Amino acid sequence: MSETLPQKARSQRGRPRAFDRDQALEAAMRVFWEKGYVATSMTDLTTAMGIASPSLYAAFGSKEDLFREALDRYDSNFRNLAGEALNSNAPLRDQFERLLHLSARENDRQTPAGCMMLMACEQRAELSPELAEDLSSRRAVAVALMEQRLHRAMETDEVPADIDARAIAEFYGTLQRGLSISAKTGATPEELRSVIASSMAVWDTLIRAA
């Protein structure tokens, strides 16, 4: 016997609603970025993603699994932007300055302020040991990218061969984190740009130091 109309309607209602996984992940990333991992509830996520809890669990697993995927997305975006900055035709000093502006996001009103990873790191005590360790490893990427770029500059004589590349990378990495926190806590674009200008004023001194 063929299925009656009421039976069809009940069957269709019982099927999980199709959704765009990529768009849902983008929405989740923005919620985590805005609120932080700990403060983000499952209701926050399902509302932003436009899906029900069963669909979220089926597609992404746990909240922590979803957060890791969101981190992968955020991390990939950052690496792309950092790669563009550090591989541009601009002078090395300008490349590093561009990275600081990316961290400050002083003119960006399209995305949440601050750094998604740094926000989660501040909640380390409330994270699982595995997630805390993962975040620590990811946070080191920015410094590693800068250090690698400095070593390339040493090989091509853009900077002296005896500079302390690690120390310089750590210096600007610390500034990146500070700018991100300041942006999140309400620093004005003018204040952020002033900090960046001051930090770049010591560039010549740093790359001359043996």
pLDDT at 209: 66
pLDDT at 7: 46
pLDDT at 161: 93
- What are the structural domain ranges in the chain? 62-208
pLDDT, tens digit, for every residue of 74-89? 888 888 888 889 989 9
Is pLDDT larger for residue 136 or for residue 155? 155
Neighbours of 102 (CB within 10 A): 19
pLDDT higher than threshold 70 for residue 4? no
pLDDT at 109: 62
Quick one: which of 28, 76, 84, 89 has its CA closest to 53? 28
pLDDT, tens digit, for every residue of 9-38? 344 444 455 678 999 999 999 999 988 898
Least confident of 119-123, 176-180, 188-192: 119-123
pLDDT higher than threshold 60 for residue 63? yes
pLDDT higher than threshold 50 for residue 3? no
pLDDT higher than threshold 50 for residue 6? no
Q: What angle do CA 151, 154, 155 make, to 5 degrees?
A: 90
Confidence label for 5 from pLDDT (cuts 50, 70 and 90)? very low
Tell me the average pLDDT across 132-151: 88
Cα 152 to Cα 154: distance, rounded to the nearest angstrom: 5
Architecture of the domain spanning 62-208: Orthogonal Bundle (1.10)
Tell me the average pLDDT across 107-128: 76
Cα 142 to Cα 152: distance, rounded to the nearest angstrom: 16
Q: Report CA-CA distances (Å) from 105 to 110, 116, 161, 180.
A: 10, 13, 32, 8
